[in-house]
Chain A
Amino acid sequence: MKRFKIKNPTLTILVLLTVAFLTVAYLLPIYVVLVTSLKSLPEIAQRRYLLPGGSLHFENYVKAFRLSISSLKNSFIISFTVTAAAVFIGGLGGYYLSRTRSLLAKVLFILVGIALYLPYQVILIPLVQIMAKTKLALTYFGLIASYLVLNVPLASVLMGTFFTAIPRELEEAAEVDGASRIQIFFRIISPVALPAYASTAIIVFTQVWNEFLLALTLSTPYTMTIQVKLAEIKGSFLALYNLQMAAALIALLVPLVFFLALGQYFIRGVLAGALKG
């Protein structure tokens, strides 16, 4: 369709208007966050939000950072561990799903397909029971294990989608040479699929970093994630909008950097997750 851009003034105006509207709608919140987070409270009370304040109050960030540093660390530990493990395990499972048509694979695909979109509410009560009984909730391992169980199906389907696109000839040649499945997977398929691993990793990471319900229910003061901390900051410093905005930006920063730096992988991951094959 790209070839058919006929010059049409009405259309151009329509496009520019839409783009202008989207620019305001999507940059205003970020702009407001930046400006508010750098103001002092008296400056906020003056209600001139669109203008930057007189001097830049970085102390809001210092305070927000001090409040959230330990939860940032927790989020890093949990998110990176889950991502690494889920991507590795998901690669194995996804390879199975993409290479067999047995009845088992078909049943599993349906089960996994539904499990992908299971509302967390429906497993929350048993999960809390298990965590309480095993005392896992007191350590990182509780949240890590829970997220792993929930994200391995996602990672498998994503990886499977990418594996489906890899030509079988590669494997056939290796098989003729007498390589086993496991050798084929680790020596041939995995290296070819590195970009797929990157896409899956960025999706899983974003999911885990941003997850709130499980983190809220399962985390203790020692394992509190950044999202729960942000909710706590918002709840306990009700009127301190400058602090809230600084904390929001801190919580946003990591996934945003990933998104901006690895946007293509992110988009590929989103599409693979949506289309499932």
Chain B
Amino acid sequence: MHVLSRFTQAAKLVWKRKRRFRGKFGSIDFLVFLLPLLIPTILLYGMLLWTFYVSFSDWSGVAPNYTFAGLKWYRMMASLDRFWVDVRNNLKWLALGVMPTIVVALFIAYLLEIRPVRWLESYVRTLILYPTAMSFLVSGTIWSWMYEPTKGVFNTILRSLGLEALTGRFVTDPSTATYWLIVIFIWQYLGFAVIILQSSFRTTELQEMVEAAIVDGASRLRILIQIIIPNIRGGILILVSLLLISALKVFDIVYIVTFGGPGYSTDVLSLHMFIATFQQHLVALGAGLGVIIFAMAFIIIVPYTIYAFRRWFD
């Protein structure tokens, strides 16, 4: 009892010192440590508000025109067929860029976890992670060549295997082009998804639970579904958010592989924003599209940021 109370007193003392210490930043310290972060943040939010304002202005043409026009350009946006194609395509990106990536990544991460061969892990990690260091421009250029319908890699391989029936038009077929673009995205983000899942597998509590389940004779599939997945909800939330945000922001892949074509069948909001602003000079419309992208991003980011906030200040 005596030992225990001495221990708690010591702990309290350490805790108090910690608190006092954490809070102490003098005014010069503020300048040195806080301003460098504060200035870019203020600039970013300033530009965000600026874009909001532009979206309500009547700016079309090269010279800025900040006359207030209310919802004029939003109405114009909603009347554009292209806008609704964008929205549909963006939803396809969100659903198909994220769900399959997570399912496949979960499968691979779990296999690596119960790997029967030792050297596999570092090999597979390097193999699927190198595209993370690659730009979408590079992967888009490479995959354009893979997809090229007459001379490209996939069709040539299929033909040489005698599988003429399986050859396709890939990104030149308006009805399926977006899906082939999403394949590039999945290819590029799979490694990223795997390492995040792996790191959330490796907590002591989870490892202990799995050990207990194995002793009880649970099958591997049951362990995955009933123990691992419910216990890595945090990791999955992070992963889903990051993939959603990346899928929403997608611009480079579409730009380099199809430029929204054929027609505007593979167009997405981000590309439309770029074209409206810098090619058609409908700047207010472009700003409005930017605001729509931001609104969608905001919905995705907020739960994630709250989660990160709780972890950070816990």
Using CB atoms and an 8 Å cutoff, list the residues of chain A in contact with chain B: 1-5, 7-8, 11-12, 14-16, 18-19, 22-23, 25-29, 32-33, 36, 44-45, 47-50, 89-90, 92-97, 99-102, 104, 106, 108-115, 117-127, 129, 148-150, 152-153, 156, 160, 164, 168, 171-172, 175, 180-182, 185, 206, 209-213, 216-217, 227, 230-231, 234, 241, 244-245, 247-248, 251-252, 255-256, 258-260, 263, 266-267, 270-271, 274-277
Contacts of B195 in A (CB 8 A): 267, 270-271
Q: Report the nearest B residue to A47, measured CB to CB.
A: B156
Given A14-B111, A93-B37, A256-B133, is A121 in contact with B289 using a C-beta cutoff of 8 Å? yes
Partner of B133 from the list A12, A108, A112, A258 (CB cut-off 8 Å) is A258
Residue from the list B136, B139, B248 in contact with A119, Cβ < 8 A: B248
- B290 to A149, Cβ gap below 8 A? no
> Is the beta-carbon distance between B44 and A32 smaller than 8 angstroms?
no
CB-contacts of B125-157 with A (<8 A): 125-139, 141-146, 148, 151, 153, 156-157
Q: What is the interface of chain B mostly: helix, strand, loop, or mixed?
A: helix
Binds A, one of B26-34, B72-80, B162-170, B174-182: B26-34
Asked whether A168 lies within 8 Å of B134 as measured between CB atoms, the reply is: no
| Residue pair B137, A125 in contact (C-beta under 8 Å) | no
Say yes or no: A32-B137 contact (C-beta < 8 A), given A15-B116, A124-B290, A150-B44.
Answer: no
Q: Given known contacts A114-B301, A172-B17, is B51 in contact with A230 (CB within 8 Å)?
A: no
Contact A171 B21 (CB under 8 A): yes
Give the interface centre of A16, A92, A125, A241 by most chain B CB atoms within 10 Å.
A125
Chain A residues lying within 8 Å of B226, measured Cβ to Cβ, are none
Nearest first, the 4 closest Cβ-Cβ pairs linking A and B are A93-B37, A210-B135, A259-B133, A96-B33
Partner of A276, one of B17, B34, B124, B312: B312
List the B residue with the shortest CB-CB distance to A259: B133
Closest beta carbon of chain A to B314's beta carbon, Å: 8
Interface residues in B92-131 by Cβ distance below 8 A to A read 107-108, 111, 113-117, 120, 123-131
Residues in A whose Cβ lies below 8 Å from that of B308: 113, 275-277
Q: Which of A3, A117, A148 contacts B301 (CB 8 A)?
A: A117
Contact A266 to B44, CB < 8 A, known contacts A182-B28, A271-B195, A276-B312: no
A224 to B277, CA, bound (A): 20
A253 CA / B302 CA spacing, docked (Å):
36
- List 10 A-B pairs, Cβ < 8 Å: A113-B304, A121-B293, A122-B290, A125-B290, A148-B40, A213-B274, A227-B135, A234-B256, A241-B148, A245-B145
Q: What residues of A have a CB within 8 angstroms of the CB of B47 in the complex?
A: 122-123, 126-127
Residues in A neighbouring B9, C-beta threshold 8 A:
none
| CB interface residues, B 256-272, toward A, < 8 Å | 256, 269-270
Q: Smallest distance from the beta carbon of B34 to chain A beta carbons, Å?
A: 5
Q: With A123-B47, A149-B43, A270-B192 in contact, do A251 and B135 touch (Cβ < 8 Å)?
A: yes
Would A1 and B207 be within 8 Å (CB), given that A33-B142, A230-B137, A267-B129 are in contact?
A: yes
B245 part of interface (Cβ distance < 8 Å): yes
